[in-house]
Structure 1
């Protein structure tokens, strides 16, 4: 299942997703992965969370990032939760591209039975119904 946390810059999306990742560690019998662009959260997450910095892997664009997500799912069947902070910074700001990416990630999450939570650095009103159906939290 895919869930999105939307909101403008500075509304608390990162704090919320970090809290969810911390909770997932104590509530799951599987592994938890967290993906971000940059190394901002190194000390904010428990050591049980596998932290990936997309800059370390030269990931840019939707196709490359989808492949990275699929690779995490394929390489370790124990991964039950994947958290992604600021997907727009990784895949780009094109609304059509983000929509296509989100729908593709939802199919991956359902097929692999992984809970994926991502933040979007824009308000939910800026997206179509195709994305809004995945938004569980819109921070203003």
Structure 2
């Protein structure tokens, strides 16, 4: 399952994500991971959440990101929910067809491995492609 949160900068996406992450820390049966570009949420999320700074791992494409998420799961089969803050900023790409393909891959990967994904994208929801709309 993939959930997508879109909105322009300053619309409250990260605040909403922090609330969802902290709720997941209490409610999720497995481990919860949060991936962000930087360390903005360090003091805002529950200490049980595994916070990953994507900049440290040089995730610069969706292909690399697919490998990174696959590696996370290979190292810990107990991950039940992955939160990704500012997806397009992490990979350094505009929100478009490649983003749509990545979200579809996340959906398939999540179904296969019983994982949920919640992603934020800093862009107006009206710019979402048809394939992205089903995750909003």
Q: What does residue 48 of structure 1 align with?
A: 48
Deviation at 1:75, TM superposition (A): 1.4
Distance in structure 1 (CA, Å) of the matches to 2:118 and 2:71? 17
Structure 2 unaligned regions, length at least 5? none
The aligned counterpart of 2:79 is 79
Matched ranges for 1:1-140 at <5 A: 1-91=1-91, 92-135=93-136
Unaligned 5+ segments in structure 1 are: 136-140
TM-score for both structures, normalised by structure 1: 0.92
Matched position secondary structure for 1:107: helix
CA distance in 2, matches of 1:90, 1:121: 11
Distance 1:31 1:106 in 2: 18
Deviations 1:36-82 (A, max 9, x none): 01111111111100000011111111111111111112211111010
- Normalized against structure 2, the TM-score is what? 0.95
**Matched residue, 1:138:** none
Equivalent pair of 1:3/1:134 in contact (CA under 8 Å): yes
RMSD over aligned Cα atoms: 1.0
Tell me how far apart the structure 1 counterparts of residues 88 and 74 of structure 2 sit (CA, whole Å): 23
Aligned pair count?
Answer: 135
- Provide the C-alpha distance between the structure 1 equivalents of 2:124 and 2:73, rounded to a whole number of angstroms: 29
Per-residue deviation, residues 97-134 of structure 1 (Å, max 9, x unmatched): 11111111111111111011000111221012210000
Deviating above 6 A after TM superposition, structure 1's stretches of 4 or more consecutive aligned residues are none
